[in-house]
Amino acid sequence: MTPVNDDLSRAPSSEPLEGPPPPTTRPPPTPDPESSSPTKSPPRKLPFLNTQNLRKRGRPKAISASETHVNALLIRVAALEARIERQDKKIASLEATIKAAETISGNNYDPPITI
């Protein structure tokens, strides 16, 4: 039979332990007076980006079919806007190339654009 370790069976002493001190609790942060002003509204979040729709038990909140449809449309609109922006950049690049070619050839005539 092995002898009982007296160090573990003793009651904790009031001597300080070696190593880092125990963590202290911090006071809660004070709210920013500018952000809590009644005239300033909180930033609006897009509904399809809100991932915090949780119930108390941690299950996702049920989303209706219309909300799902709206979310899909919002994502589609964002994709189309990005596509339009890329097309605008391509058009600007082509226009700059045409201007450079006209300048080199000596033809500086800029005809009106008709649609």
Q: What is the pLDDT of residue 52?
A: 54
For residue 81, tell me if it sits in a domain: yes
For residue 1, tell me if it sits in a domain: no
Higher-confidence residue: 56 or 95?
95
**Separation of alpha carbons 7 and 83, rounded Å:** 72
Q: Are 40 and 34 contacting, i.e. CB atoms less than 8 angstroms apart? A: yes
For residue 52, tell me if it sits in a domain: no
**Separation of alpha carbons 64 and 105, rounded Å:** 62
Residue 78 is encoded by which pair of tokens?
Answer: 């964002």
Residue 37 is encoded by which pair of tokens?
Answer: 């002003």
For residue 47, tell me if it sits in a domain: no
For residue 88, tell me if it sits in a domain: yes
Percent of the chain with pLDDT over 70: 41
| Cβ contacts of 67 within 8 Å, gap of 6 or more | 47
Q: Domain tally for the chain?
A: 1
Q: What is the mean pLDDT of residues 87-99?
A: 94
**Separation of alpha carbons 56 and 48, rounded Å:** 20
For residue 96, tell me if it sits in a domain: yes
Q: What is the pLDDT of residue 90?
A: 96
The whole domain housing 86 covers 66-106
Q: Are 71 and 78 contacting, i.e. CB atoms less than 8 angstroms apart? A: no
Q: Is the pTM of this model over 0.75?
A: no
For residue 30, tell me if it sits in a domain: no
Residue 47 is encoded by which pair of tokens?
Answer: 């509904």
Higher-confidence residue: 106 or 65?
65
For residue 71, tell me if it sits in a domain: yes
